């Protein structure tokens, strides 16, 4: 048979001269094996990744410090509140050189993670037109003495500057006339009743309607106060009432806004809860010292 007429076959009965048959058969087997191997090892096409939007970092966060859980900015710099400010008033009492020492904190967009809630933050427009972020209505500040993240050197400066702690149930407010006194988180004033005795409330019935009891769990407060000075008083109605230095604490129903102190000197028996824990002397007559006429609460100091 001439070479041009040769038919290549893998069957055993086809002969090829000079061992060509075996070489051709081997080549075919190798090619087929390579094709099969490539088909087995080829990976399925992977889906094209879908781009995801980057998650913006928190602009305000919390951190643990020697003072407890504190409020910080995104860089870890501590945030403070000023006891002279009146929360939710829309006004900052710190300007001029004060604002140099205590720079304003502001972020356009508040982003936080639990336990913080963005709804608790807001902003005010200061007298100079700049913006300032607030927490529960309290304007927030930096302290120029803090040089690195985590510093808390502004705590209790001049006894009116305090680190903002989101877990505090009691804060401190200050006025020239009244000095330092206790408020709740939102700046609502807390009071003593002089007819109470240590660990006992004598305000019930109509009195309690006018002077609601302040009640909270374990108290966190600015470092100038001893948390051990706070306790819980068991009332006759079964309610637990928070006390400071043994004195039960109350709100005044007529205090409509944070910073109101309309109960000061009321009936010569009610006074703002001074941080020293004592009952101050009667206040000037410019403040409310008499029961409202026709109030129906009598002359019993409430």
Share of the chain above pLDDT 90, in %: 65
Task: Report if residue 38 sits inside a domain.
Answer: no
Q: Would you say residue 39 has pLDDT above 60? A: no
pLDDT of residue 4: 45
Q: Determine contact, residues 97/80, Cβ cutoff 8 Å.
A: no
Which is more confidently placed, 27 or 250? 250
Residues of the domain holding 104: 60-167
Q: What is the mean pLDDT of the chain?
A: 82
Mean pLDDT of 31-55: 56
Distance CA 29, CA 35 (A): 10
Whether 163 and 176 map to the same domain: the answer is no
Q: Which residues face 64 on adjacent strands? A: 69
Question: Which helix (H) or strand (E) element contains residue 38?
Answer: helix 20-41
Q: How far is CA 78 from CA 67, 112, 151, in A?
A: 11, 15, 7
Closest CA to 110 of 144, 140, 154: 140
- Structural domain ending residue among the three candidates 167, 193, 212: 167
Domain assignment present for residue 291? The answer is yes
Same domain, 201 and 283: yes
Task: Give the alpha-carbon dihedral of 72, 77, 82, 83, to 10 degrees.
Answer: 60
* Mean pLDDT within 16-25: 54
Same domain, 242 and 276: yes
pTM of the model: 0.74
Domain count within the chain: 2
Residue 227: the pLDDT is 86
If asked whether residues 199 and 146 sit together in one domain, one would say no
Q: Are residues 123 and 202 in the same domain?
A: no
Q: What is the pLDDT of residues 59-82, one digit of tens each?
A: 999 999 999 999 999 999 999 999
Least confident of 18-27, 93-102, 115-124: 18-27
pLDDT single digits (tens) 117-159: 999 999 999 999 999 999 999 999 999 999 999 999 999 999 9
Domain endpoint, select from 167, 195, 218: 167
Query: How many Å apart are CA 82 and CA 94, to the nearest integer?
Result: 8
In a domain, 1, yes or no: no
Co-location of 207 and 101 in the same domain = no
Q: How far apart are CA 175 and CA 249, in angstroms?
A: 19
Range with the poorest average pLDDT among 19-23, 94-98, 131-135? 19-23
Instruction: Using CB atoms within 10 Å of the CB of residue 146, give its burial: 0 to 12 exposed, 13 to 18 middle, 19+ buried.
Output: middle
Q: Which residue has the higher pLDDT, 9 or 82?
A: 82
Q: Is residue 67 part of a domain?
A: yes
Q: Which pLDDT value is given to residue 42?
A: 52
Q: If pLDDT is split at 50, 70 and 90, which confidence band does 26 have?
A: low
Of 19 and 142, which is predicted with more confidence? 142
34, exposed or middle or buried, with CB in 10 Å at 0-12, 13-18, 19+? exposed
pLDDT value of residue 44 = 53
What's the pLDDT at 281?
44
Of 132, 167, 202, which marks where a domain is finished? 167
Claim to verify: residue 186 and residue 66 sit in the same structural domain:
no
Residue-level pLDDT at 288: 36
Same domain (yes/no): 109, 207: no
């Amino acid at each position: 048979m001439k070479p041009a007429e040769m038919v290549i076959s893998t069957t055993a009965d086809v002969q090829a001269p000079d061992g060509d048959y075996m070489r051709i058969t081997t080549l075919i087997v190798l090619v087929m094996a390579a094709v099969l191997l490539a088909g087995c090892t080829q990976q399925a096409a992977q889906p094209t990744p879908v781009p995801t939007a980057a998650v913006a970092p928190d602009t305000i966060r919390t951190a643990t410090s020697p003072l407890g859980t504190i409020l910080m900015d995104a860089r870890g710099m501590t945030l403070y509140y000023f006891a002279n400010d009146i929360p939710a008033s829309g006004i900052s009492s710190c300007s001029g050189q004060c604002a140099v020492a205590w720079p304003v904190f502001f972020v356009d967009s508040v982003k936080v993670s639990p336990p913080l809630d963005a709804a608790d933050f807001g902003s005010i427009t200061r007298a100079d037109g700049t913006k300032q972020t607030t927490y529960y209505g309290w304007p927030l500040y930096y302290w120029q003495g803090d040089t690195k993240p985590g510093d808390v050197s502004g705590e209790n400066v001049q006894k009116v500057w305090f680190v903002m702690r989101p877990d505090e149930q009691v804060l401190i407010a200050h006025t020239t006339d009244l000095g330092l006194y206790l408020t709740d988180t939102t700046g609502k004033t807390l009071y003593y009743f002089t007819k109470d005795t240590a660990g006992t409330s004598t305000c019930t019935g109509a009195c309690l309607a006018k002077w609601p009891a302040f009640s909270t769990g374990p108290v966190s407060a600015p470092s100038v106060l001893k948390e051990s000075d706070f306790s819980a008083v068991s009332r006759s109605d079964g309610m637990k009432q928070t006390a400071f230095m043994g004195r039960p604490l109350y709100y005044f129903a007529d205090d409509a806004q944070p910073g109101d102190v309309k109960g000061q000197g009321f009936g010569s028996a009610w006074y703002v809860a001074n941080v020293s824990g004592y009952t101050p002397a009667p206040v000037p007559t410019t403040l409310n010292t008499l029961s409202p006429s026709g109030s129906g609460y009598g002359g019993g100091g409430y």
